[in-house]
């Protein structure tokens, strides 16, 4: 009489046939691997349960955790929402990438499981995503800054602790953790003043004009006024318009400028302009990879720290079972750190 086959392999094959997923996908799903989307994992676990699969200890633990109410679960799940498919540490994606790294590494350190979700500028997608989060026993939501600052997903019915990183747009009810833009500009401007600058200009990029430039501009003029220096109107331009920046420096006889990311001091130093060749430069919205490679002085906005701080705030809310509904919402500001480079010296004297 032939020996009966082991039940686990047979049922495992049945689950693969029933669900349409490979055995490797099933294995990752049973282990709770973050590579497997939560919807896929839920589908696999439900099929396995219906077929009477005898789970391994890791799967049994995962199933029991999913069934528990949030306050009784030992492993809690964070949903991390962002609007780019592959965060990379370059250009405008660099801050988002670093906040993502800071938040996810800190979540794991605190013992949370995290899942990624893509958000889009569609109210229909938002409603579907909101229902999914509620059905999967998600314990909290962390919103990363959207690439398009005109759109931040505002979940009207979401009753979970939620924190928004990096931005604080009007009309969104969630708490935010973001850079102290006002304080950072003051710090950068005062550093230029301490280096002897008396005619300081402010250069801003057009894509931030509608969102956070008012904080930058307000801090700049407040600092200039307190120091008794000349009033120079800001320049709003594109990130790569170095010739326009050089003309601005010459027209206003600037001996110092606060600039956005990716300013090229070598271009200014190579011009024939008297002021451009000798201007001192500091960045204020944050130090990017290109700024550091060019040894530009300025503010490091501590993007990874913003991610960690946001995760801390979210964990505190989850553990206290607190859903924020402040009107207006509260904000935690993270101060930046001054990074000394070569550009607080006169460019022409290097």
CB-hemisphere CA count at 13 Å for 147?
17
Which CATH homologous superfamily contains domain 77-179+302-335?
Answer: Response regulator (3.40.50.2300)
Tell me, what's the pLDDT at 222? Answer: 94
CATH of the domain spanning 181-301+338-349? 3.40.50.2300
d(CA 57, CA 32): 12
d(CA 145, CA 156): 18
Q: Structure tokens of 27? A: 């294995």
Note the pLDDT tens digit of each residue in 311-342. 999 988 887 766 655 555 678 899 999 999 99
Note the pLDDT tens digit of each residue in 37-83. 777 777 888 888 777 776 555 545 555 555 555 555 556 889 898 87
Note the pLDDT tens digit of each residue in 150-193. 666 666 667 778 888 987 766 667 788 999 999 999 999 999 99
What percent of the chain stands above pLDDT 70?
Answer: 74
Nearest in space to 87 (alpha carbons), one of 26, 17, 147, 34? 147
d(CA 208, CA 176): 18
Can 77-179+302-335 and 181-301+338-349 be said to share one CATH topology?
yes
Q: Top-level CATH class of 1-52?
A: mainly alpha
């Amino acid at each position: 009489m032939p020996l009966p086959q082991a039940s686990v392999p047979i049922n495992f094959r049945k689950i693969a046939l029933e669900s349409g997923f490979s055995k490797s996908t099933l294995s990752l799903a049973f282990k709770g691997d973050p590579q497997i989307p939560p919807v896929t994992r839920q589908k696999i676990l439900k099929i396995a349960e219906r077929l009477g699969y005898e789970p391994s200890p890791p799967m049994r633990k995962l199933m029991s955790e999913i069934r528990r109410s949030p306050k009784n679960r030992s492993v809690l799940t964070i949903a991390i929402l962002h609007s780019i498919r592959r965060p990379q540490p370059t250009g405008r994606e660099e801050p988002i990438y670093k906040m993502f790294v800071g938040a996810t590494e800190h979540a794991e350190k605190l013992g949370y499981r995290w899942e990624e979700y893509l958000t889009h500028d569609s109210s229909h997608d938002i409603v579907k995503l909101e229902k999914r989060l509620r059905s999967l026993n998600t314990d909290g939501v962390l919103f990363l800054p959207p690439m398009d600052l005109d759109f931040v997903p505002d979940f009207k019915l979401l009753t979970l602790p939620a924190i928004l990183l990096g931005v604080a747009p009007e009309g969104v009810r969630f708490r935010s953790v973001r850079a102290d833009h006002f304080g950072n500009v003051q710090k950068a401007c005062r550093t230029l003043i301490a280096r002897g600058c008396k005619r300081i200009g402010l250069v801003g990029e057009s894509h931030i004009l509608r969102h956070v430039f008012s904080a930058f501009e307000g801090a700049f003029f407040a600092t200039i006024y307190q120091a008794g220096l000349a009033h120079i109107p800001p320049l709003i331009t594109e990130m790569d318009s170095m010739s326009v920046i050089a003309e601005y420096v010459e027209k206003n006889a600037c001996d110092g400028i606060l600039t956005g990311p990716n300013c090229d001091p070598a271009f200014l130093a190579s011009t024939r302009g008297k002021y451009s060749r000798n201007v001192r430069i500091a960045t204020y919205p944050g130090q990017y990879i290109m700024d550091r490679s060019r040894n530009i002085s300025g503010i490091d906005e501590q993007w990874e720290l913003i991610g960690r701080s946001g995760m801390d705030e979210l964990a505190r809310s989850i553990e206290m079972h607190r859903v924020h509904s402040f009107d207006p919402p509260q904000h935690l500001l993270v101060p930046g750190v001054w990074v000394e480079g070569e550009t607080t010296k006169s460019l022409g004297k290097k």
